[in-house]
Amino acid sequence: MTRGLLVALEGPEGAGKSTLARVLLARLTEHGVRALAVREPGGTAAAEAIRRLLLEPGDSLEPASELLLFLAARADLVAKVIRPALQSGSLVLADRYELSTEAYQCGGRGLDRNLFLTANQAATGGLSPDLTLVLDLPPGAGLERVRKAGKPLDRIEGAGMEFHERVARVFREARGPGVVHLDASRGSEVVAAEAWEALRSRVMAA
């Protein structure tokens, strides 16, 4: 592979993105593909500080402040980690990327899509994923998994069912080049096998 690939894992909370990222990273390594995993928001010192601000339950944030903070974190991660890794030929597995912003800040919070597109372009310099794996799961089911795992709900997870329904609709309806939907209500091994097939064909073609 001469140029790295950017692969985004997207979907509602509890859909199994982090679980899938671990499995795919292990498979890629077994196949001799240089790869690294990042999660959003986070991955640099500044982005981790922004993550705490965004996710800790506490004071509310204006929707526009929330959007710009997610994008500030993304700009730092893209410039310091993702672009250099892609330029060195690595595959980058991103646990959430721009589709999450469209789902949560436009779908969930109701912000204008053109505002998102313009600001996201500034944050990423137009770097979009080569492959987006969307894990489709009804939002109630994902939140139940998070609760069962004993994880306290963060500020955005605690935003209410109607918010999460709007978010899930954006994920469900996402279409475009490189977008592949997976039914995440099945067992994690079945989901991982299907995701690996979609990823392997891209890696081999690169």
Is 86 an interacting residue with respect to ligand Z5A (CB under 6 A)?
Answer: no
Region 88-117 residues binding ligand Z5A, contact defined as CB under 6 A: 96, 100-101, 104-105
Is 187 an interacting residue with respect to ligand Z5A (CB under 6 A)?
Answer: yes
10-39 footprint of ligand Z5A as x/- string (CB under 6 A): ---xxxxxxx-------------------x
Is 83 an interacting residue with respect to ligand Z5A (CB under 6 A)?
Answer: no
**If binding means CB under 6 A, how many residues of this protein chain bind ligand Z5A?**
27
Listed in sequence order, the DSSP H helices in 2-136 are 17-30, 45-55, 63-77, 83-87, 98-101, 113-124
Is 149 an interacting residue with respect to ligand Z5A (CB under 6 A)?
Answer: yes
SS3 at position 5? coil
Nearer to ligand Z5A, 90 or 101 (CB): 101
Instruction: Tell me the C-alpha to C-alpha distance, in Å, between residue 3 and each of 18, 31, 192.
Output: 24, 17, 24
Residue 7: both structure tokens together = 């692969």
Cβ atoms within 10 Å, residue 202: 16
